[in-house]
Amino acid sequence: MRQAIFLISTADRKGLLAAISGFFYERRLNIRECRQYSDSCEHRYFMRIAIEMEASLTRRQLEEEFAGLAAELGLDYSVHYSGDVQNIAVMVSRTTHCLYDLLVRSDEGSLGGRVTLVIGNHPELETAAARFNIPFYCCPVTPGSEPEQEAKVLEILDRQRIDLVVLARYMRILSDDFISRYPGRIINIHHAFLPAFQGSDPYRRAWERGVKMIGATAHYATRDLDEGPIIEQDVERITHESTPEDLRERGRDIERRVLSRAVQAHLERRVIVSGRRTIVFAK
Amino acid sequence: MRQAIFLISTADRKGLLAAISGFFYERRLNIRECRQYSDSCEHRYFMRIAIEMEASLTRRQLEEEFAGLAAELGLDYSVHYSGDVQNIAVMVSRTTHCLYDLLVRSDEGSLGGRVTLVIGNHPELETAAARFNIPFYCCPVTPGSEPEQEAKVLEILDRQRIDLVVLARYMRILSDDFISRYPGRIINIHHAFLPAFQGSDPYRRAWERGVKMIGATAHYATRDLDEGPIIEQDVERITHESTPEDLRERGRDIERRVLSRAVQAHLERRVIVSGRRTIVFAK
Amino acid sequence: MRQAIFLISTADRKGLLAAISGFFYERRLNIRECRQYSDSCEHRYFMRIAIEMEASLTRRQLEEEFAGLAAELGLDYSVHYSGDVQNIAVMVSRTTHCLYDLLVRSDEGSLGGRVTLVIGNHPELETAAARFNIPFYCCPVTPGSEPEQEAKVLEILDRQRIDLVVLARYMRILSDDFISRYPGRIINIHHAFLPAFQGSDPYRRAWERGVKMIGATAHYATRDLDEGPIIEQDVERITHESTPEDLRERGRDIERRVLSRAVQAHLERRVIVSGRRTIVFAK
Amino acid sequence: MRQAIFLISTADRKGLLAAISGFFYERRLNIRECRQYSDSCEHRYFMRIAIEMEASLTRRQLEEEFAGLAAELGLDYSVHYSGDVQNIAVMVSRTTHCLYDLLVRSDEGSLGGRVTLVIGNHPELETAAARFNIPFYCCPVTPGSEPEQEAKVLEILDRQRIDLVVLARYMRILSDDFISRYPGRIINIHHAFLPAFQGSDPYRRAWERGVKMIGATAHYATRDLDEGPIIEQDVERITHESTPEDLRERGRDIERRVLSRAVQAHLERRVIVSGRRTIVFAK
């Protein structure tokens, strides 16, 4: 059965749960899942509530009536519907591992959305996209051409009604302007356990520092590079025997699973951003 | 501030969340945490709800009024109060590792309860208990004396008003009768990743089978040995180089952390038993 | 530079390391890696030694001379050469996740071998193979036709000079005869943390038992189902919220990474079988 | 049987393994374990070789003869004997968790050494030490008295023939002079996954950054704070629900296990330092 999912955040106070759950109960709507979190440090309240839609209720009705409650209680919120297809654009450079992982999961139907197109600043990954019958757009960058390239990319994203942009080891820095066009809708994978090894060539630096575990971090892209709200991280144990190249190879496995978990959590509407932090209601 | 914690289970249906949260809101009680789980396979609903107690409200009042709601809605429930000291009895044989871990955590105040006494079927661990000024009762078993020994142990537990019995590598099998006297209040640690390697000498058998990870399992004791509802499990990676003795040593670390996590989850009232499964609302 | 890799096992005794390393040093061959393990329980000695080949030395020369040493010392051994392409046949039924993972890694060149062909007892996965330009052979089984089907499969394997057969969620049981034709060269993935949940539908049984972690196991296929020597295992933490279907989905990720690690370890000649156990010299 | 353990490092070249293993074989000494590592980036060779001592061979003889080989081959090395008791001094401030863990493991005989004394810059932890009958020295610091305090500590360490100093959440920075007196023999635990969150209050900063895992790092103390060679690290997954105080509590468990693993690896002579990196030959 199709569900309406509300992601809510507001100042914490008494009665929120009773008021919101009461709203749905009065309409005889079944609550499939209700997850809350009270941030006692910052006195904020967060909720993810999933409601079974009934044939007798239109989306418009539900949204209009909920808007009244939200105004009354001062809720920030968004509403989403399970089963609505989410369109994903994957941006890549030259490495295949994250792209293939997303393509396979999209194909298997386990990603929570559908990879609609792939954009590369190099032509190499066209083959990978073609194998899964996904359109590939090559948008190369030359020195000084960044603004035009970004404009072209944005034009593609807008035209194809993209819901989520995934930077799957896209090795260019996007402008603030670009990022502000898709706020909270661009997910990046950084190939280190942030905040360790921000910036370039983290595996080499991890090797030089002699760490005993390496990791990867998926985060929303923001104006500050590698500083966006973290959605998911993971690590693996390494030994002194691993060369920097071994770390890169091991890292590819961590990167792909961290990125796909983050994308899935976002698309299943399990993530709420709060400043530099995320609330992730795990499945 | 002191909290009242309700652990609730009932048949799943509409309106439970609204009704229960409404009950507390009508009394202007602040909900500190509300966690729910709807078991869609077995159509059961589970809730842990933690309420801040107010000076104006007595426990008796709260309990009487909630009893009315519970009768109306058909709730199975229990109520607990944070800050009420939980008395723990630890039963041991000859190995120190789990006992010391519990004694240290009890002493540090991080266990959610207080180790009140230690019972051993051997005298060896008296020293460990004495170091933390905890009374030690030696209750040896000889062939045929099991019923008297258990009667003696039960007499100690009852007299000292023990809330939770922890079997910290207690190497005797307790009778059904004993277990039924403390239902859902006896936690055992098994030194394997159940259901693998039930029964005796699991590390030797793990070595022989050539597994690549070993584990430990904390579960409520029930009539069926090693079959009780699992509260917590963990594993560690091993290699072919580990001898059975190495596995025993590595296992000790897994056992102590699995057992202490399970005890803490129980004492913080984060566990609800449902048949052979447990709902554990993780912190 | 191309390497010769010797996998050696023998009864443990003094002087083996000196004798074997001396053999290579006398020939002025550089040892790239030398890993040993003395099984103190069973008094066996195992070694993996990787030598840089020199232009002045033919494989035949090296092998003949080493055969002399091996006869003298009573070594069981095999010799392999890095860079020799290993041909992999993947056998599948209907689920794509392990197959895609192997195809992608083969394509990326990180598997240590090349998927040469895919054999399915159902036709569904032809598309997946075709996407990576890999021949797909559909070898269906009907009641009573097992011997003919196996004969047909063996004929394909032999004709294509297959080095390793990977059962990537192949849902049929192979005959002893089939298995004995590729001894130590058939790797299976079992969707549970063996020896827990041997047999069918392990995720359902894991759910019913209420375990807190699920796992997967890659092992060499032997006559005893689910009893072959384990190469690799891994687990993930689950919660009470996971339905059996969620476990299946989570499990797919564990299965694919466990299987590809095992295949890579085998193809990089890092695995020696010793009875029911494996020695895996980790990279 | 008592073992002699040689830790060796040298420039990598052909014949080292044959020469060293030959040396021991000529003397008919059994090699219990031989682990090597060739650092192909820096062209260094490292070995840990454990030999069974024979009654016919004195330590002095063995060491003199090996010194000849080492001079010939240009080996840096140290030699150690299993069974020689290692004396550990634990330096603490006010938190008990790491100290208790070390005391318990020392008492159980699983640490590879013996906690001989505890030094605190505050008096609080005298009780913990006393429980295990370990002398406690209170060496307080007042502004400006650091040099005298360190002199007093050094005097205690020297007098008691301490082999290893463990900083078990000792909240003072030691001077370069102090550290240079015990080179490679001071192990510190940092309560973060270095190089992330160097410096003070890492749990608060981890919370603010919104990381999804926290960790701890055990390293040799060097002149550069938090920059010493890392011996061991570990992490645990956290969620948005964890407060900074929860992180501190969770972190205590990570700290104690990381620290005790590092201490054990050092005392079992499994660690060789190479610049900023460590080679750890895992058991």
How far apart CA D240 and CA D212 sit, in angstroms, is 8
- The first and second tokens of residue B17, run together, are 């969340």
Coil, helix or strand at residue A24: helix
Q: In the predicted model, what is the mean pLDDT of chain D?
A: 95
* Predicted pLDDT of residue A232: 98
* Predicted pLDDT of residue D199: 86
In sign, the C-alpha dihedral spanning A271, A272, A274, A280 is negative
A28-39 pLDDT, tens per residue?
A: 999 999 999 999
**Residues near B184 by beta carbon (within 8 Å), at least 6 away in sequence:** B220, B273
How far apart CA A14 and CA A17 sit, in angstroms, is 8
Q: Which of C208, C215, C229 sits opposite B276 (nearest CB)?
A: C208
How far apart CA D113 and CA D264 sit, in angstroms, is 8
* Predicted pLDDT of residue A20: 96
* Predicted pLDDT of residue A277: 96
pLDDT at B44 over 80: yes
Tokens 């920059």 belong to: D227
Give ipTM to 2 decimals.
0.93
Band (pLDDT 50/70/90 cuts) for residue A283 is confident
**Residues near D36 by beta carbon (within 8 Å), at least 6 away in sequence:** C34, D17, D45, D46, D47, D48
Q: Taking CB atoms and an 8 Å limit, are B25 and A14 in contact across chains?
A: yes
Is A111 within 8 Å of A101 (Cβ atoms)?
Answer: no
One-letter amino acid at B209 equals R
C218-273 pLDDT, tens per residue?
A: 999 998 878 899 999 999 999 999 999 999 999 999 999 999 999 999 999 999 99
Domain boundaries, chain A: 3-81, 87-280
**Residues near D60 by beta carbon (within 8 Å), at least 6 away in sequence:** none
How much is the average pLDDT of B144-156? 97
More reliable by pLDDT, A41 or A269: A269
Of all residues in chain A, what percent carry a pLDDT higher than 90?
93
DSSP state of B212: S
Mutate which: C16, C21, C28, C213, vs D, most D CBs within 10 A: C21
User: Which chain A residues touch C252 with a CB distance below 8 Å?
Assistant: 110
Question: Of how many residues is chain C composed?
Answer: 283
- Which residues of D participate in catalysis according to the annotation? 226
How far apart CA A114 and CA A3 sit, in angstroms, is 19
Q: Taking CB atoms and an 8 Å limit, are C18 and D33 in contact across chains?
A: no
Containing C249, the helix (H) or strand (E) segment is: helix C244-267
Subunits next to B (3 or more Cβ pairs <8 Å) are: A, C, D
* Predicted pLDDT of residue D1: 77
**C-alpha angle with apex B41: B35 to B45, nearest 5 degrees?**
30
C164 pairs with which residues across the strands? C88
How far apart CA D239 and CA D237 sit, in angstroms, is 7
C173-230 pLDDT, tens per residue?
A: 999 999 999 999 999 999 999 999 988 899 999 999 999 999 999 999 998 878 899 9
Of all residues in chain D, what percent carry a pLDDT higher than 90?
93
How far apart CA A281 and CA C220 sit, in angstroms, is 39
Band (pLDDT 50/70/90 cuts) for residue C106 is very high
A82-121 pLDDT, tens per residue?
A: 999 999 999 999 999 999 999 999 999 999 999 999 999 9
Band (pLDDT 50/70/90 cuts) for residue A181 is very high
Residue C149 burial (10 A CB sphere; 0-12, 13-18, 19+): middle
D202-213 pLDDT, tens per residue?
A: 999 999 999 999
How much is the average pLDDT of D218-225? 92
Q: Taking CB atoms and an 8 Å limit, are B22 and A24 in contact across chains?
A: no
How would you classify residue B43: left for phi > 0, otherwise alpha for psi between -120 and 50, otherwise beta?
A: left
Band (pLDDT 50/70/90 cuts) for residue A270 is very high
How much is the average pLDDT of B159-178? 96
Mutate which: A12, A14, A43, A48, vs B, most B CBs within 10 A: A14
pLDDT at B27 over 90: yes
Q: Which of A107, A226, A246, A253 is catalytic?
A: A226
Nearest residue of chain A to residue B21 (CA atoms)? A18
Is C27 within 8 Å of C106 (Cβ atoms)?
Answer: no
* Predicted pLDDT of residue B146: 95
User: Which chain D residues touch B169 with a CB distance below 8 Å?
Assistant: none
Q: Distance, in angstroms, between C199 CA and closest chain B CA?
A: 13
pLDDT at D224 over 90: no
pLDDT at B123 over 90: yes
Select from A187, A260, A261 the least CA-distant residue to A228.
Answer: A187
D7-22 pLDDT, tens per residue?
A: 999 999 999 999 999 9
* Predicted pLDDT of residue B275: 93
D65-87 pLDDT, tens per residue?
A: 999 999 999 999 999 999 999 99
Q: Taking CB atoms and an 8 Å limit, are D18 and C14 in contact across chains?
A: no
How far apart CA D246 and CA D236 sit, in angstroms, is 12
* Predicted pLDDT of residue C84: 94
Q: Distance, in angstroms, between B31 CA and closest chain D CA?
A: 15
Q: Taking CB atoms and an 8 Å limit, are A110 and C257 in contact across chains?
A: no
How much is the average pLDDT of D119-124? 97
Q: Taking CB atoms and an 8 Å limit, are A195 and D194 in contact across chains?
A: no
Q: Which residues of B204-218 are buried (b: 16+ CB within 10 A; e: fewer)?
A: ebbbebbbbbbbbbb
- The first and second tokens of residue B100, run together, are 């010391």
Q: Distance, in angstroms, between B177 CA and closest chain D CA?
A: 35
Mutate which: B20, B25, B239, vs A, most A CBs within 10 A: B25
**C-alpha angle with apex C283: C279 to D3, nearest 5 degrees?**
60
Interface of C to D at Cβ within 8 Å reads: 14-15, 17-19, 21-22, 24-25, 28-34, 36, 38, 237
Q: Taking CB atoms and an 8 Å limit, are D253 and B257 in contact across chains?
A: yes
How much is the average pLDDT of B118-132? 98
Q: Taking CB atoms and an 8 Å limit, are A104 and C104 in contact across chains?
A: yes
User: Which chain D residues touch B125 with a CB distance below 8 Å?
Assistant: none
Mutate which: B12, B213, B242, vs C, most C CBs within 10 A: B213
φ, ψ of residue A48 to 5 degrees: the values are -120, 120
A119 pairs with which residues across the strands? A91, A137
Band (pLDDT 50/70/90 cuts) for residue C69 is very high
User: Which chain B residues touch D107 with a CB distance below 8 Å?
Assistant: 96
Select from B43, B216, B195 the least CA-distant residue to C207.
Answer: B195
* Predicted pLDDT of residue A1: 77
Is B188 within 8 Å of B218 (Cβ atoms)?
Answer: yes
* Predicted pLDDT of residue B151: 97
Q: Taking CB atoms and an 8 Å limit, are D244 and A193 in contact across chains?
A: no
User: Which chain D residues touch A194 with a CB distance below 8 Å?
Assistant: 196, 209, 211
Q: Taking CB atoms and an 8 Å limit, are A28 and B22 in contact across chains?
A: no
User: Which chain D residues touch B107 with a CB distance below 8 Å?
Assistant: 96
User: Which chain C residues touch B277 with a CB distance below 8 Å?
Assistant: 208-210, 240
How much is the average pLDDT of D92-104? 97
pLDDT at A239 over 80: yes
Interface of C to B at Cβ within 8 Å reads: 37, 39-41, 193-197, 207-213, 215, 229-235, 239-241, 243-244, 276-280, 282
pLDDT at D47 over 80: yes
- Told to judge if A84 belongs to the known catalytic residues of this protein, a careful annotator would answer no
Containing C46, the helix (H) or strand (E) segment is: strand C44-52
Select from D144, D147, D96 the least CA-distant residue to D118.
Answer: D96
* Predicted pLDDT of residue A104: 98
Band (pLDDT 50/70/90 cuts) for residue C145 is very high
Q: Distance, in angstroms, between C38 CA and closest chain A CA?
A: 21
Q: Give me the torsion for CA of C138, C144, C146, C148, rounded to 10°.
A: -80
The strand pair at A44-52 and A3-11 is best described as antiparallel
Output the CA–CA distances (angstroms, integers) from residue A164 to A180, A263, B161, in the order listed.
13, 9, 58
Q: Taking CB atoms and an 8 Å limit, are B24 and A33 in contact across chains?
A: no
pLDDT at D40 over 90: no
B245-263 pLDDT, tens per residue?
A: 999 999 999 999 999 999 9
* Predicted pLDDT of residue A253: 95
Mutate which: D20, D25, D29, vs C, most C CBs within 10 A: D25
User: Which chain A residues touch D193 with a CB distance below 8 Å?
Assistant: 193, 196, 213
* Predicted pLDDT of residue B207: 95
* Predicted pLDDT of residue D228: 96
pTM score of the predicted model: 0.95
- The first and second tokens of residue D46, run together, are 């490292």
Is D17 within 8 Å of C21 (Cβ atoms)?
Answer: yes
Q: Taking CB atoms and an 8 Å limit, are D240 and A195 in contact across chains?
A: no
* Predicted pLDDT of residue D283: 81
A56-89 pLDDT, tens per residue?
A: 899 999 999 999 999 999 999 999 999 999 999 9
Q: Which of C21, C28, C237 sits opposite D17 (nearest CB)?
A: C21
pLDDT at B32 over 80: yes
Cβ count within 10 A of residue A39? 18
Q: Taking CB atoms and an 8 Å limit, are B108 and D131 in contact across chains?
A: no
- Which residues of C participate in catalysis according to the annotation? 226
Q: Taking CB atoms and an 8 Å limit, are D252 and B110 in contact across chains?
A: yes
pLDDT at B1 over 80: no
Domain C3-81 fold: Alpha-Beta Plaits (3.30.70)
- The first and second tokens of residue D177, run together, are 């002079």
Q: Which of B12, B39, B107, B226 is catalytic?
A: B226
How much is the average pLDDT of D96-119? 97
Q: Which of B232, B243, B276 sits opposite C212 (nearest CB)?
A: B232
Q: Taking CB atoms and an 8 Å limit, are A22 and B24 in contact across chains?
A: no
DSSP state of A190: E
**C-alpha angle with apex B205: C274 to C177, nearest 5 degrees?**
45
Output the CA–CA distances (angstroms, integers) from residue A187 to A34, A257, A260, B107, C86, in the order listed.
25, 14, 10, 45, 38
One-letter amino acid at A216 equals A
**C-alpha angle with apex D136: D135 to D138, nearest 5 degrees?**
150
**Residues near A34 by beta carbon (within 8 Å), at least 6 away in sequence:** A21, A47, A48, A49, A50, B17, B36
pLDDT at A153 over 80: yes
- The first and second tokens of residue A120, run together, are 């590369």
DSSP state of C192: S
Subunits next to A (3 or more Cβ pairs <8 Å) are: B, C, D
**C-alpha angle with apex A272: A115 to A189, nearest 5 degrees?**
45
Q: Which residues of A181-205 are buried (b: 16+ CB within 10 A; e: fewer)?
A: bbebbbbbbbbbbbbbbbeeebbeb
Nearest residue of chain C to residue D283 (CA atoms)? C37
Q: Taking CB atoms and an 8 Å limit, are C195 and B194 in contact across chains?
A: no
What is the CATH number assigned to the segment(s) A87-280?
3.40.50.170
* Predicted pLDDT of residue C1: 77
Band (pLDDT 50/70/90 cuts) for residue A276 is very high
B48 pairs with which residues across the strands? B7, B35
Is D262 within 8 Å of D282 (Cβ atoms)?
Answer: no
Q: Distance, in angstroms, between C23 CA and closest chain B CA?
A: 26
Interface of D to B at Cβ within 8 Å reads: 96-97, 100-101, 104, 107-108, 110, 131-132, 239, 241-242, 246, 249, 252-253, 257, 282-283
**C-alpha angle with apex B5: B55 to B158, nearest 5 degrees?**
100
Nearest residue of chain D to residue A272 (CA atoms)? D240
